[in-house]
């Protein structure tokens, strides 16, 4: 019987069961005597074992079977639930997740899990693990699936060398994910990365100890690769070993075993599927169906083309002034607006898909730090566009790690300050207008105003004179400066501020903003504001000489006409008085060097835009009107153009550049 047709369903359902196991294990730790929770975990594990055996993934089935035996011991009260026992079960779940990821990427799901199986067997026999045993890091293994093996073989035939590169980071490395990114950047300049161990997702989430393996095909010599990688700071050691064409690695030989042609086609198909963004989990109900995310992306692209043509039709009907045509176009506009709402809603995904991984992460970090922390999640059913969801995970990981490491105090310190020993981190999400707000609040030590100011002065981020005039809010915002940290002792988990510049730039690249507020001794609150969707946005079209630009409505406060005599100068910068506030005037014709732009007349048309608490007035020649447009990327070659976030095609076929207001507000 050909099982390949059920593979997608198997992968989706396995991920759902593993997520359920993760969530219920965290509940079990809080209520060890609740047998209904154990039964739920047992049922999910049993279903996963049955599905794995049916699909022929024996390693997966065997590990799940051994985990099931331990759960059965807990259920029958032969074994008691301890944090150390749960550490081993969580480790088994990590292996299961890695196996499922391997299968989804076209591999065979094999993995060296002997140590974990041995630990589970010892637990089943009544031998309880100690803390050290539960925390040992498994050795890195780098087995190739059939698809990867064929890629490597083809590369060798075309004259490329295949290298396995083992990279070890320093013990005190702060931003492990950033170092991984730099390693990948360097390798991509001289070759192609075929595989990484642990997988890229785990590397990005810093779910590895100090070492990782990368397989690269390149025509560059091994010593050049070594030299490039050793040039990256905070890298301790790099070992480059070449896989010769006549001596493939043991793992490769294993993968090269003859298999059915159908399996090869299946591997290629699954690989293509895996390259698409991961499918979001949809809860099964009687009236829901699973839809491949690629189909939704295609539907969105087709609708974006329709929006462009709709704009063109509206313009033609205005020019011709034909009653029946105008009526038909207006009706089509209404229908397409409804269709747009439906399509955008179809692409909406609950932030729960991102939030789900944090309870487990908080538990692990709290144990490593010797702290007691409770994570409260509110509003997990709040929905965001999938494109935003894909990007928001890493910034939230940074902020939560910071809250645990340098926000929440140790239990004895909290007790001395009259606080409960268990600290609380609250993760909230809610809608407001066309935006979603995500807030991370902790009841820890807060941010020290004096320490931030002192560090900012010593780093030259702010001058002593300017520091005198900063309010509390502005001082707290300084922690988002690149490389800024107030941590007295640098840890491998975070430093309050380390990586926060990355958080800020990521969120701003999504058209969002991030702000911080803090009360010393009481805690800190980080607030992230994000747009609901990134693909179709409402803009104000403006004219500068012969050129048309689009300003996103989400950034605009209002438009105004300013008389020439109302424009003043401060620090050699033109400013205007806007409702009692001094707002800098930015002449877009100068910023974009627009040819043939006329001098200011008696009055200047301005658009007041906001970024957080800061304002700017953008001077334009005239306003054209409001329109919904499709946001298109400028591509890799033009990605670094100052103050331009993308482009759109107008109704008459012309291209209008979309202004990035965040870059213009200083």
Known catalytic membership, residue 201: no
Structural domains counted in the chain = 4
Q: Which among 43, 62, 53 has a CA at the least distance from the CA of 117?
A: 62
Distance CA 550, CA 623 (A): 10
Distance CA 244, CA 255 (A): 16
- Give the pLDDT of residue 542: 94
Range of the domain at 211: 146-242
Token output for 84: 């150390």
Strand partners, 550: 541, 658
**Residue whose structure tokens are 């309050």:** 496
CB 175 within 8 A of CB 499: yes
Residue 170 lies in a domain: yes
**Residue whose structure tokens are 């229908």:** 335
Distance CA 341, CA 300 (A): 11
Known catalytic membership, residue 137: no
Residue 294 lies in a domain: no
Residues 510 and 368 in one domain: yes
Among candidate residues 242, 258, 282, the one where a domain is terminated: 242
CB 22 within 8 A of CB 93: yes
Residue 615 lies in a domain: yes
Strand partners, 559: 607
Per-residue pLDDT of 294-321, as tens digits, reads 888 888 888 878 887 888 888 888 889 8
Strand bridging mode 614-620 / 513-519? unpaired
- 306 Cβ contact partners less than 8 Å away, ≥ 6 residues apart: 336
Residue 385 lies in a domain: yes
Known catalytic membership, residue 402: yes
Q: Which among 489, 484, 494, 446 has a CA at the least distance from the CA of 462?
A: 484
Q: Which among 330, 276, 340, 333 has a CA at the least distance from the CA of 302?
A: 340
For 10, 232, 309, 343, 568, the CA distances from 39, given in Å and listed in that order, are 22, 49, 56, 40, 73
SS (H, E, C) 515-577: EEEEECCCEEEEEEEEECCCCEEEEEEEEECCEEEEEEHHHEEEEEEEEHHHEEEECCEEEEE
Number of neighbouring beta carbons within 10 Å of residue 178: 16
CB 620 within 8 A of CB 603: no
Among candidate residues 90, 125, 160, the one where a domain is terminated: 125
Residues 116 and 156 in one domain: no
Q: How far apart are the first and last CA of the chain?
A: 64
Per-residue pLDDT of 378-410, as tens digits, reads 998 888 888 788 788 888 988 998 888 888 999
Which of 251, 402, 439, 662 is labelled catalytic? 402
Number of neighbouring beta carbons within 10 Å of residue 276: 11
CB 299 within 8 A of CB 343: yes
- Give the pLDDT of residue 565: 86
- Give the pLDDT of residue 147: 61
Which of 13, 23, 46, 566 is labelled catalytic? 46
Residues 556 and 622 in one domain: yes
Question: Which spans in 478-524 are helix H?
Answer: 500-509
- Give the pLDDT of residue 75: 85
Residues 657 and 577 in one domain: yes
Residues 111 and 82 in one domain: yes
Region of 421 (left: φ > 0; alpha: ψ -120 to 50; beta: rest) is: alpha
For residue 90, give the H/E element and its range: helix 83-104
Distance CA 622, CA 235 (A): 54
CB 314 within 8 A of CB 333: yes
Residues 373 and 462 in one domain: yes
- Give the pLDDT of residue 433: 63
Q: Which among 619, 605, 622 has a CA at the least distance from the CA of 664?
A: 619
Distance CA 51, CA 60 (A): 10
Residue 278 lies in a domain: no
* CATH number for the domain harbouring residue 404: 3.30.565.10
Token output for 86: 């749960």
Distance CA 72, CA 3 (A): 30
Residues 592 and 636 in one domain: yes
Residues 151 and 40 in one domain: no
Residues 510 and 579 in one domain: no
For 137, 546, 584, the CA distances from 593, given in Å and listed in that order, are 57, 12, 19
Among candidate residues 180, 213, 242, the one where a domain is terminated: 242
- 39 Cβ contact partners less than 8 Å away, ≥ 6 residues apart: 75
Q: Give per-10-residue mean pLDDT for the chain (666 aa).
A: 70 87 87 87 88 84 89 86 88 88 80 84 79 45 61 76 89 84 88 85 81 88 88 87 55 37 39 42 51 81 82 86 90 87 82 86 87 90 83 87 88 90 92 81 87 78 75 79 57 49 81 85 89 77 91 89 87 87 90 81 88 85 87 74 83 83 78
CB 551 within 8 A of CB 514: no
* CATH number for the domain harbouring residue 202: 3.30.70.1110
Residues 422 and 388 in one domain: yes
Residues 419 and 516 in one domain: yes
Which of 68, 304, 352, 441 is labelled catalytic? 68
Residue 25 lies in a domain: yes
**For the CA atoms of the chain, what is the radius of gyration?**
28
Sequence-ordered strand ranges (E) for 173-305: 191-197, 211-218, 235-243
Residue 359 lies in a domain: yes
Residue 333 lies in a domain: no
Residues 502 and 557 in one domain: no
């Amino acid at each position: 019987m050909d099982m390949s047709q059920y593979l997608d369903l198997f992968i989706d359902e396995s991920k759902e069961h593993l997520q359920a196991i993760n969530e219920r294990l965290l509940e079990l730790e809080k209520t060890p005597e609740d047998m209904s929770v154990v039964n739920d975990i047992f049922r999910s594990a049993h279903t996963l074992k049955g599905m794995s055996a049916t699909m022929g993934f024996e390693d997966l089935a065997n590990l799940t079977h051994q985990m099931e035996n331990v759960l059965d011991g807990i259920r029958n009260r032969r074994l008691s639930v301890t944090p150390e026992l749960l550490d081993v079960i969580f480790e088994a779940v990590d292996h299961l997740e890695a196996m499922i990821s391997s299968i989804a990427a076209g591999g065979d799901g094999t993995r060296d899990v002997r140590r974990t199986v041995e630990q589970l067997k010892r637990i089943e026999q009544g031998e309880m693990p100690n803390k050290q045993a539960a925390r040992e890091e498994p050795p890195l293994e780098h087995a190739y699936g059939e698809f990867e093996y064929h890629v490597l073989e083809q590369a060798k035939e075309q004259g490329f060398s295949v290298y396995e590169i083992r990279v070890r980071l320093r013990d005190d490395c702060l931003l492990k994910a950033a170092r991984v990114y730099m390693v990948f950047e360097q390798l991509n300049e001289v070759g192609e990365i075929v595989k990484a161990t642990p997988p890229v997702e785990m590397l990005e989430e810093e779910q590895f100890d100090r070492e990782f393996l990368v397989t690269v095909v390149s025509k560059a010599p091994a010593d050049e690769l070594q030299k490039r990688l050793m040039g990256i700071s905070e890298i301790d050691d790099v070992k480059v070993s070449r896989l010769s064409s006549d001596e493939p690695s043991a793992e490769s030989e294993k993968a090269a075993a003859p298999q059915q042609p159908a399996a090869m086609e299946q591997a290629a198909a699954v690989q293509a599927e895996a390259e698409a963004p991961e499918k979001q989990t949809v809860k099964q109900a009687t009236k829901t169906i699973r839809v491949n995310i690629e189909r939704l992306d295609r539907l969105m692209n087709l609708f974006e083309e329709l929006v462009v043509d709709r704009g063109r039709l509206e313009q033609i009907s205005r020019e011709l002034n034909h009653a029946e045509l105008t009526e038909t176009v207006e009706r089509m506009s209404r229908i397409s607006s409804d269709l747009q709402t439906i399509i955008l809603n179809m692409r909406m995904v609950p932030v729960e898909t991102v939030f789900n991984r944090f309870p487990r992460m908080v538990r692990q970090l709290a144990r490593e730090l010797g702290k007691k922390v409770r994570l409260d999640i509110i509003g997990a059913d709040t929905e965001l566009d999938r494109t935003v969801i894909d990007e928001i995970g890493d910034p939230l990981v940074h902020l939560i790690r910071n809250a645990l490491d340098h926000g929440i105090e140790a239990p004895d310190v909290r007790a001395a300050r009259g606080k409960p020993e268990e600290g609380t981190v609250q993760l909230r999400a809610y809608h407001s207008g066309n935006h979603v707000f995500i807030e991370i609040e902790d009841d820890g030590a807060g941010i020290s105003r004096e320490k931030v100011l002192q560090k900012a002065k010593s780093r030259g981020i702010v001058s002593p004179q300017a520091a005198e005039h900063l309010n509390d809010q502005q001082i707290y915002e300084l922690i988002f400066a690149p490389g800024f940290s107030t941590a007295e002792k640098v840890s491998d988990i975070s430093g309050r501020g380390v990586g926060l510049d990355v958080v800020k730039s990521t969120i701003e690249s999504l058209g969002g903003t991030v702000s911080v507020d803090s009360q010393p001794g009481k805690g800190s609150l980080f607030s992230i504001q994000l747009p609901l969707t990134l693909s179709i946005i409402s803009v104000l079209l403006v004219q500068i000489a012969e050129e048309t630009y689009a300003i996103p409505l989400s950034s605009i406060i209002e438009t105004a006409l300013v008389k020439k005599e109302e424009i003043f100068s401060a620090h050699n910068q033109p400013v205007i008085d806007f409702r009692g506030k001094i707002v800098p005037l930015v002449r877009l014709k100068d910023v974009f060097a627009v040819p043939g732009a006329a001098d200011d007349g008696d009055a200047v048309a301005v658009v007041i835009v906001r970024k957080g608490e800061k304002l700017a007035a953008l001077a334009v020649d005239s306003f054209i009107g409001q329109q919904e447009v499709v946001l298109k990327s400028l591509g890799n070659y033009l990605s670094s153009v100052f103050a331009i976030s993308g482009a759109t095609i107008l109704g008459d076929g012309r291209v209008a550049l979309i202004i990035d207001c965040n870059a213009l507000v200083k």
